[in-house]
Amino acid sequence: MEHTRFTVRNYTGYTSVVFGLGVVSVGFGALDLIMVAPKGLDQAAAVGQADVLISAIYAVFIGVVDVFSSRLAMAEGEQRTSHRLPVLGTALLLLLIPCQLLGIALGLGIEPLMRATGQKAELIPLVGDYVQVRTYGIALVLGYIVISESLKICGLKNLSAVNLVFGLAVNALFNWVFLDTGAARLFASPAQAVAASTLVAQAAMATTGGIVLVRRLRTRPDRFVRPRRLEVLTEFRSMARTAPGIGLRHFNDYLGTTIPLLFIGTLGVVQLAAAAVATKIYTLFCRVPQACFAGSFVFYGYALGRGADDLTRTVRKMRLYAAVPTAVATAVTALAAPWLVDAFASPGLDRDLARNLLLAYLLYVPAYFFEQIFGEMLTVQQRGGLLFVSSTAVTYLLTIPLAWYSVFALDSTFLAVACKGIPTAVLAFVFWRALRRTGRPGADRAESEMSLAQ
């Protein structure tokens, strides 16, 4: 299949669409905030805080998506999607059951957790309203994300983009319906209403995306094969073993980013505001390398599934194709730092500090690049245990202690940001060594996990 061939055109086309999807997806959170803002400052603050908590919770579950997507990419590269997708899809449905139960438990626990950590009493029920709706629908959310990834992997990336834009329009429509019509009486708070509208939009995108995916795949020469019970159970057990490690690695990455910001907040409003602006700009910058990493993830999966003899050469080209746009984006962001800070600045912002903190983020982009791209390759190889153990050790033994020392001992906001380069470089080295040790046998292992689900 043409879309699985690793060429400059295919790689650029895929990563460009992923970048666009990343930019558009930001609109969901922004739209919620814009439409709930007229309902009061407390509602807007609650939605903003709840969105941060939801990001942390979803990070744990995203391992399910990664495991499914990597196996589907290998099946697509091997041209066995018609046989593998029914097995993977059925195993995924079984895996979503414990995910849903865990999501409900996390939703119920969010208000007690906020009370225990001394959060503002008036915000707790509002945040709880939002988080509970989003976590109660975790299976639906994961289903939508999996369908979106499947569209991209199966050569339907443009339809995935159209589906996301459709979902954004649905989200806007139901935000208005749930906030400004008689339907508002159905919800305990405006925060709960915007959470519900997001779920409706995701349900709509899951439905339309699923219909398009199945119809397009049925036009292929190979027909879907009814999955055997033993295949499904074996696949389910394998996915259940691997997904938690990958998901917890994402959660560790999230904590490694947010906890230093909490430390910086103790230094005062000026430092926190500057750090927030620098972090926002850096997050937008990261859309470029993250799109490249997503492309590397999929094309590495294609190559493993295809059993490419020139895998080493493919990986080198993959790194080059990802490195060039990342380097260009880094240089442009560094040169444009003063103007970018001005664009996001509010009255009283220390612009020099914000610019310096942005440059501190950019200092460790080379380490970040290798840590992420090697991590994507290990994810495709189903190395969930390694990813979990290494990221946990580095996060709690290096990232957080170094940030704590920078803030509370050295009183340095710059070092609190820049010091993350050390644990990032350590992780990059660990991942590189793991890939070097496995070599081609590592690919065989991943292929075996995909095909046989040992």
Regions in the chain scoring below 70 on pLDDT = 308-309, 439-454
Contacts 24+ apart (CB under 8 A), 384-387: 384/63, 384/67, 384/241, 384/242, 384/243, 384/244, 384/245, 384/246, 384/249, 385/245, 386/245, 386/434, 387/245, 387/246, 387/249
Taking alpha carbons only, the member of 328, 306, 304 closest to residue 315 is 304
Q: Which residue is listed with tokens 């009370």?
A: 115
Cα–Cα distance, 189 to 126 (Å, whole number): 7
Q: What secondary structure does DSSP assign to 89-143, as a single string?
A: HHHHHHHHHHHHHHHHHHHHHHHHHHHHTT--TTTHHHHHHHHHHHHHTHHHHHH
Least Cα distance to 169 among 138, 144, 200, 215 occurs for 200
CA atoms within 13 A on the CB side of 305: 28
Contact 36, 179 (CB under 8 A): yes
Of 227, 255, 267, 318, nearest to 14 (Cα)? 318
Q: Cα(83)–Cα(89) distance, rounded to whole angstroms?
A: 11
Burial 70-96 (b: 16+ CB within 10 A, else e): bbbbbbbbbebbbbbbbbbbbbbeebb
**In this structure, are residues 427 and 394 in contact, taking their beta carbons and an 8 Å threshold?**
yes
Q: Return the sign of the alpha-carbon dihedral for residues 58, 103, 44, 24.
A: positive
Residue listed under structure tokens 């500090």: 353
CB within 8 Å of 119: residues ≥ 6 apart: 127
CA-CA distances (angstroms) from residue 314 to 11, 65, 294, 311, 321?
Answer: 12, 24, 15, 5, 10
- Tell me, what's the pLDDT at 449? 44
Q: Where are the domains of the chain?
A: 1-227, 244-454
List the Cα angle 395/399/404 in 5-degree steps: 125
- What pLDDT sits at residue 452? 36
| Per-residue model confidence (pLDDT) at position 445 | 44
DSSP symbol at 410? S
Please, where are the H alpha helices in 184-336? 190-217, 229-265, 269-285, 287-306, 311-335
Tokens matching residue 243: 């997904």
Structure tokens at 359: 């440059």
Provide the CB-side half-sphere exposure for 318 (13 A, CA): 28
pLDDT on residue 439: 59
SS3 164: helix
pLDDT at 308: 62
- The amino acid present at 119, given as its one-letter code, is Q
Tens-digit pLDDT profile for residues 107-166 = 899 889 888 877 778 888 998 999 999 999 999 999 999 999 999 999 999 999 999 999
Do 132 and 54 contact (CB within 8 A), yes or no? no
Helix (H, G, I), strand (E, B) or coil at 202: helix
| Closest CA relative to residue 44, chosen from 56, 55, 36 | 36
